[in-house]
Amino acid sequence: HQEVPYGFKVDAFLHAQEEGYELAFWLDSSCILVNELPWDELEDRGYWLHAEGWTVGQWINEEARGILNLTREQAGKMTLMEGKIIGLDLTHPIGRDFLREWKHYRDEGAFNGSWEDHRHDITVGGVLSHRMSLELNHNAVVIGPPGSPTTSSTIVLAAGL
């Protein structure tokens, strides 16, 4: 984690794929499930990703911009992907392509950098979701302590870090 921040998320999906799983969700350990995971939507679309609320431009370092071949202006127009809940259909072309590209850019060093100016896996995920024209979900993540108000569209309450 110190050498490749959040690279283990890619490894978790790859391990699930190697074990023969078709559908997989990543949930951060801080997440409390408050409604069912959207398995049907994941299977239909090949992915289930959520918007984070920032732009990639606000959370990408210079090294990653170079690896991803992005200008500052381009990055500023891309939505940062939420990292607390990520779903991939490991048999669907979109899910497989996302995972392959996510791994590629992790291995090229685009996850690397300080937490002060870079968001590692979700920065790269935001770029990939933009390039692949993937729709990001909204309103499914609430950040707050246990017992925080949620709605029928809330899937997880991120109650930790």
Q: Is the pTM of this model over 0.85?
A: yes
| Residue 1 pLDDT > 80 | no
60, β-bridge pairs: none
What's the Cα-to-Cα distance from 136 to each of 47, 86, 145, rounded to whole Å?
Answer: 10, 10, 24
pLDDT at 3: 79
Distance CA 144, CA 161 (A): 9
Residues 6+ apart with CB under 8 A from 19: none
- Alpha-carbon distance of 153 to 52, in angstroms, equals 16
pLDDT of 4:
85
Calculate the average pLDDT of the chain: 96
Query: In this predicted model, what pLDDT tens digit does every residue of 130-153 receive, in sequence order?
Result: 999 999 999 999 999 999 999 999
